[in-house]
Structure 1
């Protein structure tokens, strides 16, 4: 690859003139790296997967940077580096990781810090990232583990000409604090980036030409999108933290006896002898024979997921050996492993591989890696910024990287054993797209859950708006609908004896008092979980595109319809794959406004047709799911299975919406291993000529995942 290097000499007006060099290098198709000063020893790129180079070459050709990179101005400031990028007044900005409170980012100050709780609208979060995307079709990433501050065209520079014009204007006195403080008084044509504690800055600029292609380049540069096992896209249920082996078995039997599909059961903290910090040792009082328990649950075709976090209790078999690879502070009296060191990786990994992976544990829930709430001084449970780690990294950097390093250490155990997995993780950072994991949190606003779902597509992460607390029956079902239409469908019963559709009031649930209409609610839950299982061919193929092409399976409308100004602010609707528009009904609502982009769309429940380019006020009962199908679509729906095994063959009916119909490609492989990375898979081309359907299967996978049995015209 031809490298283009420019040197920009910056003169900084200081008591002593200082000179710093800036290098610009085209490192991959449509991706440029800019280095100013001396980069730090550890950068997020040091821990990423290799890029998927061939797919990067197939994206829209970009032979020059999306803007003149030499216009980026750097300067050294007290304790850090500042970069200033010119922008135009019409640009809109998105991203910064899994943001909770904001969708559009122009005019914002974003402070990128991993934090366990989102307080206000500062930019903190479980997967807060120094990466944003412009509506002009480019992305900017700061390759640092330091806390980073972005001023997104939020501060106007001194302009004497503007001052003179303003001086001639008549003044209007503000009479409210909203008018006084809530307005942007000085327009800005600049994004400023501040990284403290460093002698250098490394930027990556991703070209488009579209915003969707920016995201694709980022994901492919990260190593391609996550490819879950097929069962990971089914239904997951997490049991109460105090449950014994017999109580877990009873829940497992409940699902099988009542024909409610369920692929994974998760155990919460009580499976361990000590959980804050963790012993990583089975609690023999609750699980007297762990091996027999695992075998019995696996025999019912459930996959087991264990909750833990990395802070290692003194009673743990790991403690004595891992102390020397840990930082100089504890968390909940436990050692904090430095997962940059080979010693910590090997000790922690080998123990988990021998004790759990090889014994039949299929996945883990990795909790508490998202640092403490920065805004609550007496809840500083995490290691401090002043912590020192054996690798030489400090506490500030490790707070950003800890979740990513922990996730990678654990997930690599499954790659090593050629077993596909699907984790729950509490924290993530840059370049996480290849990680087979879904983020979760303790925040519980339904509106926030949906906004985070929308924002996840900018960040290369999957988000899980889990069901746990509900206020009433409508809230219960609306939340179930939202998780049906997300990257993972999970109900977390960590403090519930019974599934929430049997009793959603916590105190009554603890007394096992059933709702009077629990059977009706159970049927509604069963119907939604069955729908999720029917969507598996569609969802699995959408994730295959995520891996091979970098297209997020769940994403904001603005990524697909960037030319439509009406979608620029929509943060409560999103695309699921190429053909499904989701518009969740929030907080028990029965009516909401839905905007449809260009084209024709069909209500999945009634097949009612909506013309795009306008908004509609739509009313739905709780028996109807807010899912709309794009015109010209083949929607493959499978007969719902109770669970997925390596022998499962899905029986598929192809539903036809509109005409003419675009061909659909399904992805087929052994979803229990990583052989797809070696090219062992099939692609099924599904086509409809207006009268009949056809299937063309190409590839070298000898097995079969789908039988295409029927073709059904739903809307024309």
Structure 2
């Protein structure tokens, strides 16, 4: 961007297109004057907030960022940090305590007494500001399709037979999964030798790299079976205790590090050591990736200290694991906790072990949307919660419904609480399964949002004020409401209803909105109250929206059969696939509406064009009169549709 610069003693003045910065080079204090005449200085009190390292052990309450100093994280209890936006338009981030990220991907400590501060003066241009932030710090990588579907995850010592039988049952019930998660019991846990050293308070079996043969006698066959089901595979890592003498990889690791394996010396975990780092990936991880592991779940809970000053080992794990898993350009991810601003370069975010209760659910929509203020747009929560829980059917369903309309839908539970299979919750099983199918149908919408995040910096989930100038967008009363892409708006149910019916108050931004499930029409800018039985959920779609959906019954992530759900209005929308796109232009006039659909290099073979809330209409397809029924399951080719006299 262009700017003007002037210096007078210790005062520096910088003029940009939108504002003037005045900086004291001695104190580094900054004030900003916007070109509309408003002035502001950075203040924690005005900052809108960012996100936190983890939700471990929480039930909906985290310390804030608005004091003079941000609170320190203690053990696994974290606090929400500042973001890049503020109510007065100006935010300051001090990055002086971080390390230097070098051009080659390596890191080094900063010279002593170095100051590294950033002042962001984005005013209320949240989408523009986020794009500028990404231009400075790097954009979020494009995610593979499979992470946007339904995940299965449970902390439980499955045998390979049990796990595959569970996958069979999901298939039999036609509930599509795209990611199979194998928690820590894939490796030796109970059979760790008694003389093995360990430092993790969680126990001797916390860290491991050798498959537990009692549970998985044929690891390669097990992973192949999952891959043959079109499932991506992730496995859990706790690297704190290094590599110990009983691991299968120990002799090879010793040779790589120049250690005599006869000593049985534990090979210390240290990613600041290049020799260890190379062996860590080449010997411990790459062979499993060749067997079928697509990405790693890095479950680091051992603090922020490492051998390099100010270097958080969590950040270093995220950084190097992301570089390594993408070494061949395949475009994969990690699953790990947040390690500060810049962590958006290392998706996905694992928010930790939350407590199963309504307060945990109530906090997550706000927490997730707020994270966009830190550029962190792909949080993955333990949907349904991790700790405790006694099988509350209504809580389970409302949490699952939120998961369907959240960045990542990863069902998870521990080995003591009731597991999250829908059939464990008989009162809501059918509804839960229908919502999981809906999540899979939403893949084209989700993947398109994913492309926009990676290329334009537009988040899938964000606070209401990103798109609305109404003061109520900042109201704490409505903070749980959020945009789900630019065309959908979610007002999640996070409280227990009466006999399963939730009485929900909500406010809608300006415009015309339609209930996604019932079709009811709402005028925006108003407050409403409605009752939502268990099979309904308050999701609203803008007039003029174009929602692409999968029309397939299996767990395929190929966009071969697509439904375009049309809400008449004016819009231009492009659905993206890995290789191509389908562009749709819609223009409404006094008599009706025109749609032009142009596919380009997509794998889509069949297309259904459906019109929300319309039962009959006069229809023309490429100039020929037809009817609504004839727009179902047609070849995916360029076309023009004219619709009039809707009723």
Which TM bucket (shorter chain)? 0.7 to 0.9
1:402 deviates by: 2.2
Is the contact between residue 48 and residue 82 of structure 2 (CA under 8 Å) also seen in structure 1? Answer: no
The aligned residue for residue 379 of structure 2 is 463
1:320-377 CA distance string (max 9 Å, x none): 858999xxxxxxx9866443443343122212443211211112211024x4xxxxxx
1:704 to 603, 618, 625: 603
Matches within 5 A, 1:299-338: 299-311=228-240, 312-315=242-245, 316=247, 321=253, 337-338=269-270
Matches within 5 A, 1:261-272: 261-272=176-187
The aligned residue for residue 208 of structure 1 is 122
Residues 1:617 and 2:529 are matched in the alignment: yes
Alpha-carbon distance between aligned partners in 2 of 1:88 and 1:498, rounded to the nearest angstrom: 47
Alpha-carbon RMSD across the aligned residues, in angstroms, is: 3.6
1:530 deviates by: 1.0
| Partner SS for 1:70 | strand
Is the contact between residue 42 and residue 91 of structure 2 (CA under 8 Å) also seen in structure 1? Answer: no
Alpha-carbon distance between aligned partners in 2 of 1:213 and 1:72, rounded to the nearest angstrom: 28
Alpha-carbon distance between aligned partners in 2 of 1:114 and 1:343, rounded to the nearest angstrom: 31
The aligned residue for residue 657 of structure 1 is 567
5+ residue gaps, structure 1, are: 11-21, 26-61, 76-81, 119-123, 148-195, 326-332, 372-381, 504-513, 670-680
Residues 1:476 and 2:396 are matched in the alignment: yes
**Greater Cα offset, 588-597 or 566-575:** 566-575
The aligned residue for residue 98 of structure 1 is 52
Alpha-carbon distance between aligned partners in 2 of 1:324 and 1:351, rounded to the nearest angstrom: 9
1:661-690 CA distance string (max 9 Å, x none): 312111121xxxxxxxxxxx4332112344
- The 3 A distance-change label for structure 1 pair 407 and 547 is same
The aligned residue for residue 621 of structure 2 is none
Count of matched residue pairs: 550
| Partner SS for 2:338 | coil
| Partner SS for 1:543 | helix
Residues 1:63 and 2:22 are matched in the alignment: no
Alpha-carbon distance between aligned partners in 2 of 1:108 and 1:611, rounded to the nearest angstrom: 39
| Partner SS for 2:316 | helix
The aligned residue for residue 576 of structure 2 is 667
Alpha-carbon distance between aligned partners in 1 of 2:509 and 2:288, rounded to the nearest angstrom: 48
1:428 deviates by: 2.8
1:71 deviates by: 5.2
Alpha-carbon distance between aligned partners in 2 of 1:134 and 1:542, rounded to the nearest angstrom: 25
**Greater Cα offset, 109-118 or 270-279:** 109-118
- The 3 A distance-change label for structure 1 pair 638 and 668 is same
Higher relative contact order (CA 8 A, sep 6+): 1
**Greater Cα offset, 579-588 or 429-438:** 429-438
| Partner SS for 1:266 | strand
5+ residue gaps, structure 2, are: 33-39, 100-109, 190-203, 258-264, 615-645
| Partner SS for 2:177 | coil
- The 3 A distance-change label for structure 1 pair 131 and 456 is closer
- TM-score of the pair, normalised by structure 2: 0.76
Alpha-carbon distance between aligned partners in 1 of 2:94 and 2:119, rounded to the nearest angstrom: 9
The aligned residue for residue 485 of structure 1 is 405
The aligned residue for residue 405 of structure 1 is 316
- TM-score of the pair, normalised by structure 1: 0.69
1:552 deviates by: 1.2
Alpha-carbon distance between aligned partners in 2 of 1:591 and 1:600, rounded to the nearest angstrom: 22
Is the contact between residue 322 and residue 337 of structure 1 (CA under 8 Å) also seen in structure 2? Answer: no
1:467 deviates by: 2.2
1:404 deviates by: 2.5
Is the contact between residue 379 and residue 408 of structure 2 (CA under 8 Å) also seen in structure 1? Answer: yes
Matches within 5 A, 1:234-633: 234-274=149-189, 276-311=205-240, 312-315=242-245, 316=247, 321=253, 337-369=269-301, 371=302, 382=303, 389=307, 393-394=308-309, 397-398=310-311, 401-444=312-355, 445-461=360-376, 462-469=378-385, 470=389, 472-495=392-415, 499-501=419-421, 518=426, 521-569=428-476, 570-589=478-497, 590-633=502-545
- The 3 A distance-change label for structure 1 pair 107 and 240 is closer
| Partner SS for 1:547 | helix
